[in-house]
Structure 1
Amino acid sequence: MGQDESRMVDKKTPPQTLKSRTLEAVAAYIKEGSARRIVVMTGAGISTSAGIPDFRSPDTGLYANLARLNLPYAEAVFDIEYFRGNPLPFYALAQELYPGKYRPTITHSFIHLLHQKGLLLKLFTQNIDCLEREAGVPGHKIVEAHGSFASQSCIDCKAPYPEDLMKKAIKEEIVPKCLRKRCDGLVKPDIVFFGEQMPADFFHNRSLPGDADLCIVMGTSLSVQPFASLPMMCGDGTPRLLINSEQVGEMGSRADDVLLLQDCDTGVRKLAEACGWLDELEALWEQTAPWARAGQPKPDKADEPEKSFDELLQDEVDKLTKEIDKNLKLTQDQHTWLENHVDNKIARIRDAEADKDPTAPLTTAQSLTSETKVDRSDPSGGGLYHVFPWLDKKSSL
């Protein structure tokens, strides 16, 4: 994952092409017209802020949440041989990932902006979510190294399958079969499963980074080959910008490598601002909002500035804190009400007993205060422990 410090370029080594190894220098390089053939390489990190989990993050990754599918091992859901024998788990998972459920991030819109400006030579992506397409990047500009949901075909005869029928199958968790007579093979989206070859399109375009005058790598660990070798295809004097939460691969080992170690959305905003494109980018990203795509007017709340990932995380923490405080207050209110209710009932019983026989023992009241015990082992036995678990902790009850 990380790179040894000894293999990083010496800070004293001057850049060959850029004026300095800074984001501002990359922006100046773009603005002066030196970057006309930009190659972008992306991974799961550009989609996590859209709500799509990556595959291997502990507890939150897709593989960590597949226990409900009863797989022999997590990766089996993307194993072609397992799929042949039991395709249902994949179609259950496909409901969570199928395009249309998630909004593209501003990073996806940044790639679209590069295309609009005529600067995008090619996008190489490891993602299967199609969010680049949803953001407006045309298919001929994208190399989906691991395939995607953009098309589907029979795993036996390779015949294409209609998109509308695939949507219906995934929605209903139905396993589609090939429409060709005498085939009846299983159909799946053209995602590269374990045991399958990478798309020919990847190998046809693999040398393109050598023609680039700028390489931007975002949201990838650069740990899976042969995708991980793509940045090395760039010429020695080609500037390479990494926007990622950590340094990866051999990024940072060349004189014109610039590392922006933060989340992708924040990084592309900074780059767009340095290029003078931020308003353009925000407007382009706004077009991906559900209300905009439905042709509806902008909601009032949309007038608020877009929050960063850290701000959204803090909002979630604040929301959770308020819910906990509310629940604690509700619990205290319930207990206070219950104490008052029991005290009033005891007082009424005492008054009633005193009216009947002032010298008689208060057996009913005593049974309420001392004889009635909460049965923790049997919630159905008449006790209230299963509803009010604090009852046996208060001596007044």
Structure 2
Amino acid sequence: MKLGRCKNIVVVTGAGISTASGIPDFRTPGTGLYANLEKYNVPYPESIFNIDFFTNDPLPFFSLAKSLYPGNHRPNYIHYFIRTLHQKGLLLRTYTQNIDGLEKLCGIPEDKLVEAHGSFATASCHLCYTPYPSDEAKEAIMNDQVPTCSFCAAAVKPDVVFFGEDLPQKYFLNSEDFPKADLLLIMGTSLQIEPFASLVNTVRPSVPRLLLNRDPVGPFTKVPLRKKDYVELGDLEDLVRRFAQMLGWNEDVEEMMRAQEAAMSSTSLCQQSEPQTRS
């Protein structure tokens, strides 16, 4: 990267990049989301994101969704590092499994982002796919109500991809992006959910793959590693900060964080003052 050999970097991320923002990942024993679903009365943890289970009983997901909706958490250093890749003209695309919206919140442009498992930004009927106002869906869910489709009366849900649903069309940009990549950066993922997990195997064999993660996962569990595969394990935010320091980017990332946080705080204050101004 310092020599300018990496100009089309593809980033692949999972829930681990958001734990530093206070959002639990899915699979960590004891603290992960799947380990704390007893109160939702589901037959097995993953069923809360299963479309057939949702069809029969949407309430467990809606109860969980109240805590998952964007707005309560801020992007962290890792998100801003990815944005720095974009600012420096090196980011081809970032593919995320996350539905927390923190990539957008930190300023990564829409055309550089693939939210492979959807997001809360839009909503639609889970049966007939009729669009539904996302703000109205959120208001109903926050008030323990089930938003229903005006066309077929089925339950409406945020456009988060459940097990058993099709991936968003944008996901299929991977067929163009991964063959173009000259560096694959993988962070904060268990690489257990298909077909997302297999994306990392679609870059050219000569392309370096760097895993920054808590544990070795997927093809990085093999011994010996494939030539051009590299692994650094530990606390992800610490690893990414070290990486940025090696590149001489730490000040750039931190300055971007300060500027974006100031902008978000200013926007929030303006929104809070609007009702008073109108009255």
TM bin, normalised by shorter chain, reads 0.7 to 0.9
Aligned residues: 264
Helix, strand or coil: the match of 2:179? helix
- Indicate the residue corresponding to 1:173 in structure 2: 144
Query: 5 Å matches for 1:83-102?
Result: 83-102=54-73
1:117 to 57, 65, 88: 88
Deviation at 1:163, TM superposition (A): 2.4
Query: 5 Å matches for 1:282-297?
Result: 282-289=254-261, 292-295=263-266
Q: 1:164-205 deviations in whole A, cap 9, x for unaligned?
A: 2123123222211124xx422221111111221222322342
One-letter amino acid of the structure 1 residue matched with residue 48 of structure 2 = V
Q: 1:271-318 deviations in whole A, cap 9, x for unaligned?
A: 1111111101011123454x651229xxxxxxxxxxxxxxxxxxxxxx
State the distance in 2 between where 1:243 and 1:117 align.
20
2:227 to 240, 248, 255: 255
Query: Which structure 1 residue ranges, 4+ long, deviate > 6 Å from structure 2?
Result: none
2:124 matches 1:153: yes
One-letter amino acid of the structure 2 residue matched with residue 263 of structure 1 = D
CA 1:247–1:76: 2 relative to 1, 3 Å: closer
One-letter amino acid of the structure 2 residue matched with residue 190 of structure 1 = D
2:2 matches 1:31: yes
One-letter amino acid of the structure 2 residue matched with residue 258 of structure 1 = Y
CA 1:246–1:69: 2 relative to 1, 3 Å: closer
2:18 matches 1:47: yes
1:226 to 188, 191, 195: 195
* Equivalent residues of 2:209, 2:229 under 8 A apart: yes
Helix, strand or coil: the match of 1:31? coil
Helix, strand or coil: the match of 2:238? helix
State the distance in 1 between where 2:172 and 2:11 align.
16
* Equivalent residues of 1:146, 1:198 under 8 A apart: yes
- Indicate the residue corresponding to 1:193 in structure 2: 162
2:58 matches 1:82: no
Helix, strand or coil: the match of 1:189? strand
Query: What percentage of aligned pairs have identical amino acids?
Result: 50
State the distance in 2 between where 1:287 and 1:254 align.
40
One-letter amino acid of the structure 2 residue matched with residue 244 of structure 1 = N
- Indicate the residue corresponding to 1:143 in structure 2: 114
- Using structure 1 for the length normalisation, give the TM-score: 0.63
- Using structure 2 for the length normalisation, give the TM-score: 0.88
Query: 5 Å matches for 1:372-383?
Result: none
* Equivalent residues of 2:26, 2:33 under 8 A apart: yes
Query: 5 Å matches for 1:198-347?
Result: 198-251=167-220, 253-289=225-261, 292-295=263-266
One-letter amino acid of the structure 2 residue matched with residue 77 of structure 1 = I
State the distance in 2 between where 1:169 and 1:63 align.
25
> CA RMSD, aligned part only?
1.9
Deviates more, 1:161-170 or 1:95-104: 161-170
Helix, strand or coil: the match of 2:172? helix
State the distance in 2 between where 1:249 and 1:63 align.
20
* Equivalent residues of 2:149, 2:156 under 8 A apart: yes
Deviation at 1:58, TM superposition (A): 1.9
* Equivalent residues of 2:211, 2:230 under 8 A apart: yes
Query: 5 Å matches for 1:336-375?
Result: none
* Equivalent residues of 2:134, 2:158 under 8 A apart: no
Higher fraction of strand:
2
State the distance in 1 between where 2:37 and 2:129 align.
28
- Indicate the residue corresponding to 1:108 in structure 2: 79
Query: Structure 2: which 5+ runs fail to align?
Result: 268-279
Helix, strand or coil: the match of 2:132? coil
Larger radius of gyration: 1
- Indicate the residue corresponding to 1:356 in structure 2: none
State the distance in 2 between where 1:85 and 1:44 align.
27
State the distance in 1 between where 2:100 and 2:154 align.
24
One-letter amino acid of the structure 2 residue matched with residue 267 of structure 1 = L
Q: 1:228-256 deviations in whole A, cap 9, x for unaligned?
A: 22121111221221111122222372322
State the distance in 1 between where 2:16 and 2:192 align.
13
Helix, strand or coil: the match of 1:55? coil
One-letter amino acid of the structure 1 residue matched with residue 29 of structure 2 = P
State the distance in 2 between where 1:95 and 1:288 align.
26
